[in-house]
A and B are shown apart, each in its own frame.
Chain A
Amino acid sequence: MEPLSWLEIIARIGQQLLPVWIALVATFALSIRFKRKLGLYGKLFDSNVGMIGFAIVFFWVCTAIFADLIITHDPLGQVSRMRNAVPGSALPRPDDMYPYYLFGGDSLARDVFSRMVMGAREVLRIAPFAAMISFMIGITLGLPAGYFAGKLDTALTFLANLVLAFPVILLFFLLVAPEIQDTLIPTVMAGILFLVPILFVTVLLNSRFFTQPAKRNLYVGGVLLVGVWAYAGLVFDWDPTGLWSMSPNLLNVFVAVVFVNAPTVFRIVRGITLDIKTRDYVAAAQTRGEGAWYIMLWEILPNARGPLIVDFCLRIGYTTILLGTLGFFGLGVSPESPDWGSTINTGRRLLTIYPHPALVPALSLMSLVLGLNLLADGLREESLKD
């Protein structure tokens, strides 16, 4: 069969992405219709930048969700004679397979398009989750550091600066390696890092509801149950149901990324807390006799949400870049993994002759990060209008 022209390739990719377009149009129609009732999220649709950013991010999120419907071939499957095939090449013997490699084949004759789609799933499975854990750690340590100040602040700031003084790339080389996975280091670090979110939610609920013991016991008990279950599964791989589990590779990558991000979040939260704690409503709460944690988590934190939400978007983008860096150096991922960073790494060897296996994931990664940055910009603009 004849190879496809570029127009046909675009048309066929558009067709493959049909579930994404439906979800995108439906979300936009609903959101614009009800934007006055949706708070900050609704306001996003007042700014062009925010809307474009949201569209790009949502496109990739949907692609990740519907990946199984979108892919044309098995991302790990090889088809003979399709090595380094140019975009739009037809399969020699399609049988019951999709008859074309839409974005061509890579050096191992795998479909670049399907790998790109599955790569989105890999990235979006880790990046937002890692950013969230980093945020919880940064908030849990940053609030008391800013609120109590004094020796605690000095010690925590010193520790944060210590981590920040490490060049990121060096930390990755040292921390993400097969030898490290054999030791206890990732497990211990994960044990500490994952403990903080559980503590955070527990303290958050306890400080709010401790005057109503029945409610408090229900909420805190539920959180502890789920928390300990997830904790045992993620850190020690002890979950009998297998719902929460992480391969040693993934755990190692996760811990390294969280470790790099958390100190920056800590510094941001600390700075905001130092500013907000001088406000009148904090003084009012102190006069009422509220506990320190209540003031931090229910008076200061909600008022710091604007800059924190903006930074959260930026941080997901930054985490995506970090994951790509790890993949680019072949750290902590299995060589077959379709994630964008390692695909760029394998594709760069033949870059000057067959650029498509590296270009496709590179541009995907860039567009996702760009979308997140634009989204953050839109959110910043809209939250400043209040």
Chain B
Amino acid sequence: MLLFLLRRVGLMLITALCLTLVVFYLTNLPAKLETLAKTQAGSRMTDAEVENWLDRNGYSSNVLVRYGEWLGVVPGWTREADDGTITGRCVNFADDDPAAAGDRCGLLQGQWGFSTRFSAEVSDVISARLGATGMLMLWVLIVMVPMSLILGILAGMREGSRTDRALSTVAIVTTATPEYVSGVVFIALLASSAVGLSPLLVNLGLIEGPVLFQGNARSALTQITFWNFTLPVMTVALYGMGYIARITRASMTEVMTQQYIRTARLKGVSFSNIVMKHALRNALIAPFTVIMLQIPWLLNGVVISEVLFSYPGFGWTLYEAAVNNDIELLLASSVVAVVVVLVTQLISDIGYVYLNPRIRIS
């Protein structure tokens, strides 16, 4: 088991290195750097001035060297101006202390860089936003997992029955509704004071405010309420639900045809007992892995939902960084995203081995 873990972690590190290199290369393309120079130092620069700016700010060296600097395994660039002032990557980080020139300062030293979009340290921006997204994810999982498991188990315990057909159709419909569709429909139906359900309910005197749910989740940052957080959570949860429900259903129908279920039936165990005690435990192995693997996919939904409901979380930050060509922030967000994906994959593998005694790693 330990060897298996070590190998997996090693593979994970190699993958993370490859991916960050790709991200670094794509965000540091000459064209992107040119845009950066123009947004930082004036949009009417000539090509020579752009070149000069890039050179002064340490962007002119080889991509691999700069990747090393960013990681923190290569000493940061330094530069001595004609009047003797020393500038450099690490000098900027260490509050303009010239003594820091020649140090290593990068990801490994905890220097994530400076965000041009938010005018703040990238590490501060990311950690604050991750907290907000954590809350969103938490509620999504709280809503999504029980609902999809119940849907799948109810559909799968009597294969081919009318309940099965109806619930399977529901599952198919949710997998066909991407977040930007469900979000738009939710807002139009529930969060608009002009159309949809809200004006009706207001006329009937059933709700206090102008709308049933709020279409803007910015206020959820300070206080999460049912009113402002339902729509973003449902938007993300709905799309993922169908897939997990279908896997649960497939796993459940398979378990229900097993010999030991038939034995239990012949012994006279009641149907609800068979489902709860005999079938459920074995049927939940496959959904567990799928739920873990679903988390990276939720990231997609989180970005869409956060942009749609303007909830300033991690996904919204990623979007803002990409749109505004905020290189350092985009790099850091990518690292976080990639690490989340790899860690969930690892957990799902370990969990699968742990839950399923038929698989032994030796």
Contacts and interface: CB of A to CB of B under 8 A. Distances in A.
Interface of A: 158, 161-162, 165-170, 173-175, 179-180, 182-183, 185, 317, 321, 324-325, 328-329, 341, 344, 347-348, 351-353, 355, 358-359, 362-363, 365-366, 369-370, 372-374, 377
Choose among B18, B30, B178, B195 the residue with the greatest number of A CB atoms under 10 Å from its CB: B178
A179 B32 CA distance: 6
Given A179-B31, A352-B193, A365 B178 contact: yes
A43 to B, nearest CB: 18
Q: In this complex, which of B32, B193, B215 has the most chain A Cβ atoms within 10 angstroms of its Cβ?
A: B32
Contact of A179 (B35, B307, B342): B35
Given A183-B30, A348-B187, 19 more contacts: A166-B19, A167-B300, A174-B23, A179-B29, A179-B31, A324-B181, A325-B300, A344-B181, A351-B187, A351-B215, A352-B195, A353-B195, A355-B188, A355-B195, A359-B184, A362-B185, A366-B181, A369-B176, A377-B172
Given A161-B15, A321-B178, A355 B172 contact: no
16 contacts: A167-B296, A167-B300, A167-B341, A173-B319, A173-B322, A174-B26, A174-B322, A325-B180, A325-B304, A351-B184, A352-B187, A352-B191, A352-B192, A355-B184, A362-B184, A370-B177
A99 B28 CA distance: 53
Given A165-B338, A173-B318, A358-B188, A373 B15 contact: no
A357 to B, nearest CB: 10
> Which among A179, A183, A347 has the highest number of chain B CB atoms within 10 Å?
A179
Contact of B180 (A174, A180, A344, A370): A344
Interface string B309-335: 000000000110010000000100110
Interface residues of B, number: 50
B181 A362 contact: yes
Nearest to B35: A179
A170 B195 contact: no
A142 to B, nearest CB: 20
Given A180-B26, A352-B194, A353-B192, A169 B300 contact: yes
Contacts of A179: 29, 31-32, 35
A353 to B, nearest CB: 5
Contacts of A359: 184-185, 188
A180 B31 CA distance: 8
Contact of B300 (A168, A363, A377): A168
Given A165-B345, A325-B304, A351-B188, A170 B181 contact: no
Nearest to B338: A165
B337 interface: yes
A164 B195 CA distance: 41
Contacts of B18: 162
Nearest to B302: A169
A358 B184 contact: yes
A348 B181 CA distance: 10
A372 B304 CA distance: 23
Given A180-B26, A325-B178, A359-B188, A373 B172 contact: yes
- Main secondary structure on chain A at its contact with chain B? helix
A162 B20 CA distance: 11
What 10 A-B pairs have minimum CB-CB distances, sorted nearest first? A355-B188, A173-B322, A179-B31, A370-B176, A352-B192, A369-B176, A362-B181, A174-B26, A321-B178, A362-B184
B116 interface: no
B27 interface: yes
Nearest to B26: A174
B175 interface: yes
Contact of B181 (A165, A183, A351, A365): A365
A214 B15 CA distance: 48
Interface in B239-254: none
A303 B191 CA distance: 51
Contacts of B176: 317, 366, 369-370, 372-373
A158 B341 CA distance: 15
Given A174-B23, A175-B26, A180-B29, A341 B180 contact: yes
B291 interface: no
Nearest to B333: A170
Contact of A170 (B35, B194, B334): B334
Contacts of A183: 29-31
Given A162-B15, A175-B26, A325-B300, A169 B181 contact: no
B153 interface: no
Contact of B177 (A180, A352, A366, A377): A366
A324 B172 contact: no
Nearest to A166: B19
Contacts of B100: none
A325 B300 CA distance: 9
Contact of B304 (A162, A182, A328, A362): A328
B303 interface: yes
A173 B192 CA distance: 30
A370 B173 CA distance: 6
A167 B302 CA distance: 12
Given A359-B184, A373-B172, A169 B196 contact: no
A344 B35 contact: no
Contacts of B318: 169-170, 173
B275 interface: no
Given A329-B319, A370-B173, A165 B192 contact: no
B19 A328 contact: no
B303 A344 contact: no
Interface string B3-39: 0000000010001001100010011011110010000
Contacts of A182: 31
A352 B322 contact: no
Nearest to B239: A321
A341 B181 CA distance: 9
Contacts of B191: 352
A370 B345 CA distance: 29
Interface string B161-178: 000000010001101111
A347 B27 CA distance: 30
A245 B184 CA distance: 34
A179 B300 CA distance: 23
Contacts of A362: 180-181, 184-185
A182 B215 CA distance: 38
